[in-house]
Amino acid sequence: MLIEVKNLKKIYKLGDIEVPALRGIELTVEKNEYISIMGPSGSGKSTLMNILGCLDVPTEGIYVLNDQDVSKMMDDQLAEIRNKQIGFVFQTFNLLPRADALHNVELPLIYSGIPRAMRRKMAQDALEKVGLGDRIHHKPNELSGGERQRVAIARALVNNPAIILADEPTGNLDSNTGEEIMEIFQQLNDAGNTLVLITHEEYIANHSHRIIRLLDGLVQSDDRTN
Amino acid sequence: MYTFSILVEYLFMAWTALKTHKLRSILTTLGIFLGVTTIITIFTTIQGINEYVLGELSNISSSSIYVQKWPWGFHDDWWKFRNRKEITYKEYEALTEFATIPDYISPLVFSFKTAKYRTVAYEQVPVIGTNEQYKDTDNVNPAVGRFLTELDVQRNHKVCVLGDDVAKNLFKDEVPLGKRVKLGTDKYRVIGVLEKRGKIFGQSMDNFVVVPIGTFRRVYGGHRGMRITLMIDDISKLDDMKEEARGILRRARKISPGDEDDFALNQQDQLTDMYKTLTGTLFAIVFVIGAISLIVGGIGIMNIMLVSVTERTREIGIRKAIGAKRRSILIQFIFESVAIASVGGILGIIFGFLGGSIVLSQMNLATGVSLTSILIGYGFSTFVGVVAGFYPAWKAARMNPIDSLHYE
């Protein structure tokens, strides 16, 4: 089991009012699964994504990632987990605007202390995997939206993470480009990567093999697609 | 793992940040630049002057005691010294009779006279009356002829020894030895010319004539105040010599026990000390001025770093999301702040040296590049960079990754 989530709760405090975002999520993810998490706004999918991505910790409950209980970790421990185990793909790409594609992809490796020469090689390989081998010295503003998202994907997979988390990865792209990105995800999954997608679009979710629907902070349904 | 390679990475990041905001970085570092320039300019200048002054002071014998009416140095109660009795021939006689420790004792009285040889006149020449031991106490050596002898002094011979300047002015290419020179009213036979000594503090040390003290007193009057020099070969006995002289002088001047000395026993240390106090004060002032501009510069840097951290909230979020720890973010921004301050520091060192060199060259003194001032300049600017950058960097390091990722 790659991910095991038990009775996961997240309660935000706004002054004296407690706002529950997650009210007891149960979830397991196996290695090499390809999952979509869906739900309307306010269903708690962003909160779940933040916790699964170790950007945040739950108020209650247990989250075991790769045999490590990460639900009670401190800031720097979480940073280490994010660096080694998780690859993020964001809706808004979140690339460093002044760094070229290669440097953006290198970034996680810098923080894991990998020597420069090795780092460059790994980053270049990752960029080639997403079909940007000839664009490594372009800066984000010299790349199209699809290309930017591919740089972000290369960055997400360069550290060979346990899980790739993608938050509305096609949300800022036109549908053709979105399809291209979905193809890359398919290839990554075929190559053995575990993917978790957050989306509110059915046709995107249908690319995955399992759809988890959230409503009001609880799992409403958990179905395999065919 | 914190390897050398990651530090290089931080340097690279800092450099990129500087390049991206060239004008802003330069304006920010202006305060540091001016602070360091001030410090280095004055530091260099003072060092140049120091070397010169201490070199010159070493010309004054450190194994001598100078008996004078006035103490050396600065004093508030100058009127007290003004009303003192002059040091006279009587004290000189007392010292020569009773002092056992000094190896050499020489008196010194002087008066400005016009020196004349045939038709050539040379005005305002200091004529010094002294004895044969002046040769040792004041380290003068005859280049030609001889210095005064004991006999010249005992018999009040009408002879004189010329300083190099006087000899050149009066005699041009002629040989002065044996010629008669008129000093004021009387004529003297030239028995020697002294070796050239050059200048101290820009003043010629060769513009004087030496005659026997008795002759001087008889011709020009014996009422003048004098300076008596006591010198010793073994410097460890300097204090003994001083105390012995004090006793003899107090007795000769009939000072009651418990009353203060009404004469001064000066020594070279006093000048060195005085000079050091003076430059010490100057250093302190410079330090304060420099520190103020560095503080102001530091505040400027802190301000810009706070702006920079806010502007780059999203970048911080990205870095944290992909695994940067607090420490990594902290170091990144401190490096950036240090880089800004260092640019000002390095430019300040360069301009400070130029400034110092210009000042020193105006004074005709040599300039030296000193490692100390480079270290001081660079050390200060780095220190300011770290201090000024710490709070903004700490703020950045503590940012929440989720909030900063969604910062617009």
On the question of pLDDT at A79 being above 80, the answer is yes
On the question of pLDDT at B165 being above 70, the answer is yes
Q: Does A95 touch chain B (CB under 8 A)?
A: yes
pLDDT band at residue A135 using 50, 70 and 90 as cut-offs: very high
Give A88's contacts in chain B (Cβ within 8 Å).
321-322
Written as six digits, the tokens of A76 are 């720097």
Find out whether A89 and A164 touch, Cβ atoms under 8 Å: yes
Written as six digits, the tokens of B352 are 């400070």
Nearest to B5 among A84, A116, A155 (CB): A116
Please compute the mean of the pLDDT values over residues B339-367 and round it to a whole number.
90
What are B371-400's pLDDT values in tens digits?
A: 888 888 899 899 999 999 999 999 999 999
pLDDT value at residue B2: 55
Find out whether A63 and A70 touch, Cβ atoms under 8 Å: yes
Residues of chain B in Cβ contact (below 8 Å) with chain A: 1-3, 5-6, 8-9, 16, 20, 314-315, 317-328, 401-402, 405
On the question of pLDDT at A180 being above 80, the answer is yes
Stretch (H or E) spanning B194: strand B186-194
DSSP sequence for A76-143: HHHHHHHHHHEEEE-TT----TTS-HHHHHHHHHHHTT--HHHHHHHHHHHHHHTT-TT-TT--GGGS
On the question of pLDDT at B406 being above 70, the answer is yes
Coil, helix or strand at residue B221: coil
pLDDT value at residue B3: 63
What are B244-270's pLDDT values in tens digits?
A: 999 999 999 999 988 888 899 998 888
Written as six digits, the tokens of B168 are 């050149």
Rounded to whole angstroms, how far apart are CA atoms B323 and B310? 20
Domains of chain A: 31-58+72-224 (3.40.50.300)
Q: Do A75 and B322 touch (CB under 8 A)?
A: no
Q: Do B405 and A112 touch (CB under 8 A)?
A: no
Q: What percent of chain A has pLDDT over 70?
A: 100
pLDDT value at residue B127: 95
- Mutation pick from B18, B316, B322, B325 vs chain A, by most beta carbons of A within 10 Å, is B322
Residue boundaries of the structural domains of chain B: 7-56+272-405, 64-266
pLDDT band at residue B62 using 50, 70 and 90 as cut-offs: confident
CA-nearest residue to A157 within chain B is B322
Is residue B230 packed enough to be buried (19+ CB in 10 Å), middle (13-18) or exposed (0-12)?
buried
Nearest chain A Cα distance for residue B378, angstroms: 29
**Complex-level ipTM:** 0.94
On the question of pLDDT at B200 being above 80, the answer is no
Rounded to whole angstroms, how far apart are CA atoms A63 and A1? 12
Written as six digits, the tokens of A77 are 């421990």
Using a cut of 0.90, tell me whether the model's pTM lies above it: no
Average pLDDT of the residues of chain A: 93
Give B322's contacts in chain A (Cβ within 8 Å).
82-83, 88, 107-108, 111, 155
Find out whether B40 and B347 touch, Cβ atoms under 8 Å: no
Please compute the mean of the pLDDT values over residues B305-328 and round it to a whole number.
94
Stretch (H or E) spanning A54: none
pLDDT value at residue A194: 96
Q: Do A82 and B327 touch (CB under 8 A)?
A: no
Average pLDDT of the residues of chain B: 89
On the question of pLDDT at B243 being above 90, the answer is yes
Please compute the mean of the pLDDT values over residues A16-39 and round it to a whole number.
93
Q: Do A75 and B326 touch (CB under 8 A)?
A: yes
Q: What percent of chain B has pLDDT over 90?
A: 59
Give A168's contacts in chain B (Cβ within 8 Å).
none
On the question of pLDDT at A210 being above 60, the answer is yes
pLDDT value at residue B39: 87
pLDDT value at residue B145: 93
What are A98-110's pLDDT values in tens digits?
A: 899 999 999 999 9
CA-nearest residue to A94 within chain B is B318
**Ramachandran assignment for A140, one of left (phi > 0), alpha (psi -120 to 50 degrees), beta (any other):** alpha
Give B317's contacts in chain A (Cβ within 8 Å).
94
On the question of pLDDT at B357 being above 70, the answer is yes
Find out whether A222 and A37 touch, Cβ atoms under 8 Å: no
What is the CB neighbour count within 10 angstroms for residue B374? 17
Q: Does A116 touch chain B (CB under 8 A)?
A: yes
Give B9's contacts in chain A (Cβ within 8 Å).
110
